[in-house]
Amino acid sequence: MNFDGHHIAITGASSGIGLVTAQLLADRGAAVTLIARRADMLQQAASDIGGKTAWAAADVGVREELDAALDSAVAQNGPITGLFANAGLTGGFTPLLAYPGDLWEDTLRVNLTSVFWAIQKVAPAMVDAKKGSILVTGSMASKRGMAMNPAYVASKHGLLGLCRAVAMELAPHAVRCNCVIPGFIETEALARIPAEQRGKIEGRVPQRRMGSSEELAEVAAFLLSDAASHVTAQDWAVDGGTLQTLEV
């Protein structure tokens, strides 16, 4: 997985999976552009990664900001050969009948609509070049129902459908689109979970442990790389076996 000559734009890149993946790609030769809301975190992350790493602050849920960030990415690092659409909201846990309408709209806009916007923005250049890779971050909620969070589940189901539709339409142009599905991955959010709850979560994973952002990043890097040139329209879980087992 040599990324020399590749430029990967990553949303949700200031921390967690996005940041770890950016570091891995840069280590393997990619020019990387980090996109997230907080300029201070992006600037520090870009400095830490070094190399051909650029950044652009944007709220992906605002189309004008997202478009400007992607334009900035091209201006700084040249044509985008890979997009990792990783930004997302958790949606918040609220009973269905009391679920706020504005939270529904915000979650769908960030988790699903913004990815559609980003793909529309970067795909024409990929089609012209007859080469490109798009990766979206789904969720186990892309494949399963979950109570108390209808917006998140709907957005992540929709994201997987969008991925498959994009893959089908762009395949004749040698542009691929895949969906990586994190299981229970060690992130800042999971680190705040009480020990007792962590034990219950780990007990649901056949491997009896949570995954790491580094493990997820390795799969993301593969799917973005030329090594996966015949892989498209796929959902790839990094979940220790959780989705494909009967354990509950």
pLDDT score, position 193: 79
The one-digit pLDDT tens for each residue of the chain (248 residues) are: 899 999 999 999 999 999 999 999 999 999 999 999 999 999 999 999 999 999 999 999 999 999 999 999 999 999 999 999 999 999 989 999 999 999 999 999 999 999 999 999 999 999 999 999 999 999 999 999 999 999 999 999 999 999 999 999 999 999 999 999 999 999 877 777 788 888 888 999 999 999 999 999 999 999 999 999 999 999 999 999 999 996 54
The domain 7-238 having CATH identifier 3.50.50.60: the answer here is no
Beta strands in 65-220 (DSSP E): 82-85, 132-137, 175-182
CB 227 within 8 A of CB 133: no
Residues 168 and 145: their CA atoms lie apart, in Å, by 25
Structure tokens at 165: 């539709």
Among residues 22, 9, 40, 33, the alpha carbon closest in space to that of 213 is found at 22
Residues 155 and 231: their CA atoms lie apart, in Å, by 23
Query: Which residues participate in catalysis according to the annotation?
Result: 152
Q: Is the dihedral of CA 183, 94, 248, 194 positive or negative?
A: positive
The answer to pTM > 0.85 is yes
CB 242 within 8 A of CB 184: yes
Structure tokens at 203: 């007990």
pLDDT score, position 246: 65
Domain range list for the chain = 7-238
Structure tokens at 133: 């890779």
CB 241 within 8 A of CB 209: no
Q: Which residues pair with 181 in a beta bridge?
A: 237
pLDDT score, position 196: 83
Structure tokens at 171: 């395949």
